[in-house]
């Protein structure tokens, strides 16, 4: 039997809203790199609207703004990840790294011994 695939998705919730997850963390990294929400969205293959909605959700969920925008023309316009946003992102990435380390533990090996390589057909599952 091959090793099972472990997919961990760490999400921090604020009520029913996702305050931080892998996509939002990647968006913050891209905003930091590109200096704009639209350029970050393009780099990640998402629309400006989707990018903006994710930024808006993050800014509403955290006690301090995660991204600030600078309107107008010129060199100083665009968006930047705030100091608070950088700290939140760093803490989130640390949680992600810790979660991924679980693949080296006994619980993961135990699950690996129990999981099938492929699921049973729907009718077969009822009779087992």
Tell me the C-alpha distance between 11 and 65, whole Å: 18
Comparing 126 with 99, the larger pLDDT belongs to 99
Q: Which 3 state secondary structure label does DSSP give 20? A: strand
Mean pLDDT, the chain, as a whole number? 89
Task: Return the axis-axis angle of helices 22-34 and 48-61, rounded to nearest 10°.
Answer: 110
- Domain coordinates in residue numbering, the chain: 21-107
Comparing 128 with 121, the larger pLDDT belongs to 121
Tell me the C-alpha distance between 76 and 36, whole Å: 11
Beta-ladder partners of 69: 79
The answer to whether 31 and 44 are in contact (CB under 8 A) is no
Tens of pLDDT along 15-58? 999 999 999 999 999 999 999 999 999 999 999 999 999 999 99
Q: Which 3 state secondary structure label does DSSP give 3? A: coil
Residue 20 CA to its chain's centroid (Å) = 6
Tens of pLDDT along 87-117? 999 999 999 999 888 777 888 888 888 888 8
Tell me the C-alpha distance between 12 and 6, whole Å: 19
Fold of domain 21-107: Arc Repressor Mutant, subunit A (1.10.10)
Output the pLDDT for position 25: 98
């Amino acid at each position: 039997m091959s090793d099972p695939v472990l997919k961990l998705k760490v999400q921090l919730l604020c009520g029913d809203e996702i305050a931080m997850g892998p996509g939002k963390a990647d968006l913050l990294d891209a905003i930091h790199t590109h200096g704009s929400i639209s350029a970050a969205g393009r780099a990640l293959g998402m629309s400006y609207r989707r990018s903006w909605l994710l930024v808006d959700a993050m800014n509403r969920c955290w006690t301090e703004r995660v991204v600030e925008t600078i309107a107008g023309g010129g060199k100083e316009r665009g968006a930047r990840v705030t100091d608070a946003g950088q700290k939140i992102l760093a803490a989130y990435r640390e949680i992600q790294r810790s979660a991924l380390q679980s693949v080296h533990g006994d619980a993961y090996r135990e699950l690996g011994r129990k999981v099938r390589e492929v699921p049973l057909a729907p009718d077969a599952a009822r009779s087992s």
